[in-house]
Structures are given as C-alpha cells and as structure tokens.
Amino acid sequence: MFELLTTDGSSKARLGRLTTSRGVIDTPVFMPVGTQGSVKALDPRELQEMGTRIILGNTYHLHIRPGLDILRQAGGLHRFINWPLPILTDSGGFQVFSLASIRKIKEPGVEFRSHLDGTLLFLGPKEAMEIQRLLGSDIAMVFDDCPPHTGTPAEVRAAVERTMRWAAECREQPRAEGQAVFGIVQGGSHAELREECAKAIVAMQFEGYAIGGVSVGEPEAEMMKAVEHTVPFLPENQPRYAMGLGTPAQLVELVARGVDMFDCVLPTRVARNGTAFTAKGTISIKAGFNKADLGPIEEGCQCFACRNFSRAYLRHLLNVGEILGLRMVSVHNSYMFIKLMEDIRAHITAGTFGDFRRDYAANYVPSEKVLAARGETAVGGAG
C-alpha cells in the first residue's frame, strides 16, 4: 500500500506513495477535513482543482447525523457526498472524549450523550469499525482513548492501555473491501509511554500508524516531543500520520521529523473569520490595510481566489457578510496547505528540503491567535 521513495539527507523527511483503490496519494500529504461530509464552504470540484487527493470524514459526527441508515442506502460515504477520491475516517474516539458531555468508559467502549440532543449513544472498537465499514472509507482509524493534555501520568497510562486493548479488538473486526486500517499511538508527552504504545500497536500490524493525543491544546514544544518520542518506533515502510496538525510552519517541521500525513481544520476554520494563510504567516483580510489593495491574497498564488479576486474585494465581501468572501478565503487557505505539501515533495526530490525548511522557519511568523484556534474544540462540527 505504501512505497517509500526517498529519504531526505538533512532530516527525517520522506517522499512516499500511498496506493488505494480510489487513487494514488503522494506523501507528504495534507488532507482537508470534511467532518460532517463536507469540507466547510468548499465543493468537490474546488477541492479536486486545488489538488486534493484525500479528505477526512468523521465517524462520530456522521453516525449522529445523517445517521447510518441513510449512508447505507446511499451506498457509502463517497457516493453520499459525491467524492470519488480516497477518504480517511476518524474513528470517533477523539470526539467522544472531547465533545460528549456525559460518558462512562466501559471495557467494550464508551457510553455517552450526543453533544447535539443528549441521546444516549455507545461507541467502542467494534461499533467504530462497523460504522467505518459501512461508510466504506479507504482508510479507517482504530478507536482510541485520547486523554486531555493535562492528564496525570496515571491517567495517560490508563488511556494508553485502553488504546492498546481497543486497537487489538479493532484489528479483528471486518472491513470494507480494500479498506486499510491505521493504528493510533497515544502517550502524551511521556517518552516511555509513547514507546510502549508504539511498539504494541506496531506489533499488531496495521497498514499505517497515527500519532494521536496531539492537537489537544498542548504547547507546540510538547507536541513536537510527542512526535519525536513516537516516530523512531514506527516502521520505515509504512505511512505515518500526525492527527489534527497543524500550522504551515509546524507541518514543515513535522515532515522533517518523519511524518507523512496531516489533517487540520485551521485552513477552513480561520477562513470563516477572514484570516488567510501566506508563506509569511497569517493576515486578516478585513484589516484596514487591505481596503484599497487590488492585488491577490498572495502574489503568485495560483488558487481560484487569487486568480480571480483582490484583497479589497474579499475584504468588502467579508465586511458586508457575503458568503463568497469566506468561500474564497477557504479556497485560498486550503490550496495553500495542499501546495505547501507539493513544494515539500519537490524539495525532498531535489535534495533541497533542508534549505527550504530553514527559509520557511525564518520567514514564517506564527500567529498566537491562529495557534489557539487549532486547539479549540468545535462542538457540533469540527472543521
């Protein structure tokens, strides 16, 4: 399923190729997030035009709405949302632990109340895999216990142990035809727990491995540590996925640490507030300095928004509440993340990733506001 093509000389960055029945995915890759069956504000044509090769869907959200009956009748998630390329589905573990207000952790799973209407629901490894089988995603994720980053060592250990037991159970469940399953490594920022969890999960032989328990509100340094403590114990010849990350500058650093796959709600979430990503950091399109700026969001950008509209027009649209404004910033931001991965792949191929990484870090000024938005828990539809 995964072919490792090149390894960077200056870092752990890797060039790879992931093959699914619905298409080939060059890695490192960014996967736009379609939590509720739609990448917020974008349509499938716009996504394909900007080079999207795989999107995310979410088990927890889709299970609640529209529900499995409809998805079954539609013939799976791809057909329901009219997306012909690969889909990775999250197992719902993260959402159960972050969104559901009342819950009871039992050995076969979690009893919880829907964040929406309080309905009592149950998700465990068996249920999560069965739902993902029905959704027919190309990559399913195991059901894990994702503890808060403020958890005590004992709490994180309990979550790691539960994650390992549940992963073993997920491994035995039936799958959709051609469906790959990725294991998830938990363990917070504790080196020994990460190692223990990674070794146990890898021993179960999944098609890929994710680093979970990141993007849960922890400081950047802790997040980087979690990744550094995990990657050495993951097999070279399988894909590695850092869940829920990150800003463009973080993505470059995570690639340098050997991660191949990313998903993040940032590009579309901050777009709805009028914040656009550029190679130098974020800018507020609504800001006064854009009032008469007839240039694009980013000079040279080939996205649909930058090819068609000026900052001044987008600022006007956002100021008067026209939907086209947030649509076009969503297009630009999503394209920017996709294009960053294209550039990274080109630099790994050319052997210039080290220079690119250094320049990127030097030029990119992270915004505190945007870093904070990454950690926000979006009740009722992340993304």
Among 19, 21, 73, 152, binds a second copy (CB under 8 A): 73
- Segment lying near a second copy (by CB under 8 A), choices 75-83, 140-148, 244-252, 280-288: 75-83
In the range 80-109, which residues lie near a second copy by CB under 8 A?
80-82
Q: Is residue 343 annotated as part of the catalytic site, yes or no?
A: no
Biggest CA–CA distance in the chain, Å, is: 60
Cβ(248)–Cβ(356) under 8 Å? no
Q: Does 38 bind a second copy (CB under 8 A)?
A: yes
Among 102, 323, 362, 368, binds a second copy (CB under 8 A): 323
Q: How many residues bind a second copy (CB under 8 A)?
A: 41
* Residue 378 found at the interface with a second copy (CB under 8 A): no
Interface mask toward a second copy for 225-264; x: CB under 8 A: ----------------------------------------
Residue 295 sits in the site that holds a second copy (CB under 8 A): no
Q: Which is nearer to a second copy, 68 or 346 (CB)?
A: 68
Does residue number 313 form part of the binding site for a second copy (CB under 8 A)?
yes
Catalytic residue among 8, 138, 145, 263: 263
Which one from 43, 69, 90, 343 is the annotated catalytic residue?
Answer: 90
Interaction between residue 316 and a second copy (CB under 8 A): yes
**Does position 60 bind a second copy by CB under 8 A?**
no
- Helices 353-363 and 248-256: crossing angle in degrees, nearest 10, is 150
State the minimum distance, in angstroms, from the CB of residue 61 to a second copy: 8
Report whether 199 contacts 153 (CB < 8 A).
no
Write out the binding residues for a second copy, residues 263-292 only, by CB under 8 A.
Answer: 291-292
Pseudo-torsion of CA 154, 159, 164, 170, nearest 10°? 170
CA atoms of 100 and 50, how far apart (whole Å):
34
Tokens of 44: 């499938």
Nearest to residue 184, comparing CAs of 204, 167, 196? Answer: 167
Residue of 317, 329, 336, 338 that binds a second copy (CB under 8 A): 317
The residue (of 232 and 380) whose beta carbon lies closer to a second copy is: 380
List 17, 65, 126, 171, residue binding a second copy (CB under 8 A): 65
Among 66, 148, 151, 354, binds a second copy (CB under 8 A): 66
Closest approach, Cβ 322 to a second copy, in A, equals: 4
What does the chain come to in residues?
383
Task: Please compute, for residue 283, the number of CA atoms within 13 A of its CA located in the half-sphere on the CB side.
Answer: 17
Contact 173, 204 (CB under 8 A): no
Is 263 part of the annotated catalytic residue set? yes
Instruction: Please give the positions annotated as active site.
Output: 90, 263
Residues that bind a second copy (CB under 8 A): 36-38, 40-44, 61, 65-66, 69-70, 73-74, 80-82, 291-292, 294, 308-310, 312-313, 315-317, 319-328, 380-381
